[in-house]
A = this chain, B = another copy of it.
Amino acid sequence: MHRTSAYAAATPKALLAPHAIERRAPGPRDVLIDIAYCGVCHSDIHQARDEWGGGGIFPMVPGHEIVGHVAEVGVEVAGFAVGDAVGVGCFVDSCRRCAQCTAGEEQFCEQDMTATYNGMERDGVTPTHGGYSTRITVDQDYVLRIPAGMPLDRAAPLLCAGITTYSPMKHYGVHSGDRVAVVGLGGLGHMAVKIARAMGAEVTVLSTSEGKRDDALALGAHAFAATGDKGTFKRLAKTFDKIIDTVSAAHDYNAYLSLLKTDGTMILLGVPDAPVPLAAGALIMQRRKLGGSLIGGIRETQEMLDFCAEHDIASDIELIDIAQINEAYERMIRGDVRYRFVIDLATLDQAA
């Protein structure tokens, strides 16, 4: 076992604070990773505060946007060597046998994926702990390769925000020349803009705030429209082939659906606190579709990393010390981050 420095929420009401955990010594198929950076996902806050209906496992070490270097490999590990730049995303294991796992869609494992944190290992009794820590031991099949030349700190958010936006574009089919709207310009939205543009789409950012116009265009969007302006919905009616909706706050699905062409698809990535009224006619009259998407499988996550490297895409980040994490949470809740906090884990050894 490796005693490892971490930051944990001791209880749902507690601030994150230094905490020591044990990482298993690498088994034959395991990779031990020295964590360099970990992105801060909004779901870290929800889970650390147990806002998803209870059942959170405490003390909890959040973090599922992990990058670092291989420190040690098990005897059967092929394809990873000490010093390699690697990543770990939202899950670290799955049943490996069901139809979804064998199809490479481990995120939909019929026996449930093993979440990187706030989950249980396949033994059912060992809690998992995430990337707000200095190292992690992960089965080689759930380790991603960070392409050469990609800045590690800016790569971290790709492991969740990147795959969460890339996967639906592949699954629902964003094609070159498609008109794509991205709703919301946060951690997910800013990645959606970059990826959709790299796929050849003509990208429009829809945001409540006119203040995001310059950022949207700087990130690569071809156009911007403020949704607070009622004229926007008339002007852009039946315009888009796809809408990537990253917003978790309540908003009017029907108004956004009206912006889709016939046969267009809107893909939900955010989960508002309460169900949102849906008018069947908004789907029926133009044969529109409303779909969801959830991260992506290991194979597709690697494909996304390679795609991002090829297109020189990474996340726009604000690098923080681990000691700033509680303040970062408060700023995220206020929407005050462009566009992802990433923890520099070199600051943890000192803190712990």
Contacts and interface: CB of A to CB of B under 8 A. Distances in A.
Given A278-B278, A280-B268, A280-B276, A108 B287 contact: yes
A280 B272 contact: yes
A290 B283 contact: yes
A150 B294 CA distance: 47
Contacts of A271: 279-281, 284
A72 B46 CA distance: 71
Interface in A131-185: 171
A287 B100 contact: no
Given A100-B262, A253-B278, A262-B100, A288 B292 contact: yes
Interface string A257-283: 000001001001111101111111111
A277 B276 CA distance: 5
Contacts of A279: 271, 275
Given A100-B262, A284-B271, A291 B294 contact: no
A286 interface: yes
A285 interface: yes
Given A268-B283, A272-B280, 8 more contacts: A171-B287, A277-B277, A283-B290, A284-B293, A285-B292, A287-B294, A288-B292, A290-B290
